[in-house]
Amino acid sequence: MEMKTKYQRRICPAFEIGKLGGCRRFYIDITLEDGRLSMCGTWHSHGQNADDLTNEALIPAEGFEYSDVLKVQSIWNRWHLNDMRAGTPKQEEFIREWKLSHRYDYTKACEALEEAGLLYDNGYKYGSSWLKEELPTEVIKYLFSLPAVSGVSWLDMESVAVDEAEFFNILQVGATK
């Protein structure tokens, strides 16, 4: 029997109550496939809108604290598409620090790496191909243990229990490094 290597989970960590009534939920679709993490949110638009999780109008949903909402955002920003890294771990760490005070631009990033003596790391030039950064098991465990939902509207919303066998398989996939 072939082991499943694709796992999906939809979470709803927060919602907003509109000024004229009504409610909008912030959904995040999480996919783990062959060690690759993909997160996609639905709010005002569908896509890479992790920054919207700091919207002051958001209220944590049932099963979530505000700290969970921020942790999900942090994981999303750090680990989304972990198989598409432009640099080695050393180069990526430098760029993460550099981006705290600079707007990312590939050419400027390469210049900063060159100044730091990191444009080439063990013969690998930053940005010459996509590298995979292994996803920590703790990240997988956290994301796939969050309360999940199915449905897209208040009327058809249902909680989804964690299937223990599937959760074990997810952790096994994460442990194969």
Amino acid, single-letter form, for residue 51: D
Q: What is the pTM of this model?
A: 0.78
Same domain, 124 and 54: no
Write down the pLDDT at residue 167.
60
> DSSP string of 115-161?
HTT-SEETTEETTSS-B--PPPHHHHHHHTTS-EEE-SSGGG-EEE-
Domain shared by 112 and 28, yes or no = no
Q: What is the pLDDT of residue 168?
A: 62
The answer for residues whose C-beta is within 8 angstroms of residue 41's C-beta and 6 or more apart is 26, 27, 28, 29, 47, 48, 49, 50, 52, 53, 76
Q: Cβ(63)–Cβ(11) under 8 Å? A: no
C-alpha torsion 133→52→48→144, nearest 10: 50
Same domain for 74 and 17: yes
> CA 70 to CA 54: how far, in whole Å?
7
Question: Domain count of the chain?
Answer: 2
Tell me how far apart the terminal alpha carbons of the chain are, to the nearest angstrom.
Answer: 21
Backbone angles phi, psi at 127, to 5 degrees: 85, 5
At residue 177, the pLDDT reads 42
Block mean pLDDT (10 aa), the chain, length 177: 70 84 84 92 76 85 91 95 96 96 96 98 97 93 87 55 61 53
146, 136 contact by CB (below 8 A): no
Residue among 68, 63, 60 nearest 26 (CA): 60
Quickly tell me which residue has 């890294």 as its tokens: 85
Is 24 contained in some domain? yes
Q: Are residues 42 and 116 in the same domain?
A: no
Q: Which domain holds residue 54?
A: 6-83+132-175
Contacts of 5 by beta carbon, 8 Å cutoff, 6+ apart: 33, 34, 173
Residue 1 confidence (pLDDT): 37
Q: Which helix (H) or strand (E) holds 60?
A: strand 58-60
Query: Would you say residue 67 lies in a domain?
Result: yes
Residue 1 lies in a domain: no
- 77, 139: one domain: yes
**pLDDT the model gives residue 171:** 61
